[in-house]
Structure 1
Amino acid sequence: MSTAAPKTPKLPVTVDKPTPYNFDLGLLLANDPNPVSVPRTTTASSDPSILESHLANVARDGAQVLINQLLTTCAITSTSSGVLLSLPHAQTPLPREKPVPAPKPETKWSAFAKRRGIKPKTREQRRNLQYDEATGEFGRKWGYQGANKAGQDDAIIEVKFNSKKEAERKEGTTVRGDKRREIREKVKRNERRMRKNQRHSEGRK
């Protein structure tokens, strides 16, 4: 003779409380103004599982009431993606964790771009990738193994005959280091422009 496991009783769908719940469906929030009546029996004080079970029942009632309110007051539509339930706008203001950021001062470049109607680059334009026809693959424009460093590690570098640049070359410099010096000079120039823009935005000269 087999003994079947006892079936779990179905919990009620309706919840009756002396004071009704307050809802903010935009935040999926249900406030229960009723005090939590914690069991005061000797068994409950000695067995923590009784208290946990009671609190779980209170939380279950709150979730059930919230679901009932959503299904009876919110618009439900059927789409190709499934059944959608439209939530109303939230009514409860939530405090910010951090203060509202102060607006950034206008730099010389931003003022110039506004006058000329220059728009910021899109995400695709800012990508550090470009197509290399020689290799048939996409590579970096700058940075590690960037296209702007092409030729730096070549074993042989061609120098134009009677080049004016070679005739005026400073003592101790080589053609191999020209590209590196050019890149470093561009970085320094950009840093100087950035500091100048910062002073201009702060009203300093």
Structure 2
Amino acid sequence: MDTSEIVDKVLRNAAEEEKKYKSIEVKRDVEVGIDLGNLLTCDPNALDVKKYRVKKEEYLASVARDATQLLFNQLWKLPVHRVEDAITVKLPEPSTVLPREKRVPKDKPATKWEQYAKQKGIQKRKRTGKVWSEEEEKWIPRYGYKSKNDLKKDWLLEVPANADPMEDQFTKKKKAKQERIAKNELQRLRNIARAKKGKVPGVGLTPTEKPDKSLVNKSIHLSKHSTASIGKFENKLPKEPLIKNLGKRRKFDPVMGSLKKEQDLQKSILDGLSRKKPEINVTKAVNRQIREEQQSAAAEKREGKKGGKGKGKGKGSRKAAPKTAGRKRTKGGGRGKKR
């Protein structure tokens, strides 16, 4: 093959390749807006209506291809970084503000422990979910089922030296766990109430918006009467006032009173007892009666079918007389022949 033929072949292949693949240079009458931060291309040029009506899908695909090519041309102008075997670029800040479906979420308010940890500089350490057990020589969960503190796992508990030997240590440990769970739940509810700016539940009396002197007296009364002696041996302040009538008291009617009031009371009791008679459910009674009638009719029908099986077989179809026929019992209980 001559050199001229080789050149012609190469040029023909290049022309075919140009027809197969479009050029990376795209020309637009109006400048296209490109937002590299959002990888967005806005093409304000008008569509060719004639081409759109002739070949709708192909025309739209070509317009989308040109817009994407302009976007990639701008991306390759950014500084390139190689990460292992991949080539990456760092996108700039977006210039187009996109609308949100929902509002921007607010930061959750810090809990009481998070505020304390921030004040003291305590860093949160991430601990694994499993720990090594020297006794079992395997990895076990840190908390929950089959963990070291699982109540079902401890079949033997040591009684402390200063504890009552007759005290049930299993019940004591279970009660302590329930108290810890209740304390954590109370703290969780406090955090929710504090976040919603509501009333925070406390021990004793719940806080009010406008506390007064009576609430303070009631709080002192409850704190003193929470001891085992119900406040009998509690020390008092030098000028502490005597607090009375803070608890609920039961009220009883006087022993000697109006006779008519007593009669009305007894009458109301008797009326209440008479009203408590059982009510008859008519629907239930009717349904029960119908069911019993249907059952009895079905039983009679079955008996009639059994009795009619021997009919139509001639004279010899009579039932045989019982073997005891023609005999009668004597006074002694024996059976004798009929005379």
Task: Report matched runs for 1:184-195 at 5 Å.
Answer: 184-195=178-189
Q: For 2:52 and 2:94, how far apart are their aligned partners in 1? A: 38
Q: What TM-score, normalized to structure 1?
A: 0.70
Letter in 2 for 1:97: E
Higher radius of gyration, 1 or 2:
2
Q: Which moved more, 1:133-142 or 1:10-19?
A: 133-142
Q: For 2:28 and 2:39, how far apart are their aligned partners in 1? A: 19
1:26 match: 37
1:47 match: none
> Cα offset for 1:198?
4.0
> Cα offset for 1:191?
0.9
Q: For 2:160 and 2:177, how far apart are their aligned partners in 1? A: 25
CA deviation digits over 1:113-151, x for unaligned, max 9?
3332223x23x23x322122234332211122222116x
> Cα offset for 1:55?
1.4
How large is the Cα RMSD of the aligned pairs?
Answer: 3.2
> Cα offset for 1:166?
4.4
Q: Secondary structure at the match of 1:130?
A: strand
Q: For 1:131 and 1:63, how far apart are their aligned partners in 2? A: 56
Q: For 1:183 and 1:67, how far apart are their aligned partners in 2? A: 62
Letter in 2 for 1:196: R
| Structure 1: gaps spanning 5 or more residues | 1-5, 45-49
> Cα offset for 1:14?
1.4
Q: For 2:119 and 2:159, how far apart are their aligned partners in 1? A: 44
Q: For 1:85 and 1:131, how far apart are their aligned partners in 2? A: 45
- % same residue: 29
1:196 match: 190
Contact 2:146 2:153 in 1 (8 A): no
Q: For 1:98 and 1:142, how far apart are their aligned partners in 2? A: 38
What is the number of equivalent residue pairs in this alignment?
182
RCO comparison, higher one (Cα < 8 Å, 6+): 1
Contact 1:128 1:140 in 2 (8 A): yes
2:93 match: 89
Task: Report matched runs for 1:67-86 at 5 Å.
Answer: 67-71=72-76, 73-78=77-82, 80-86=84-90
Letter in 2 for 1:34: N
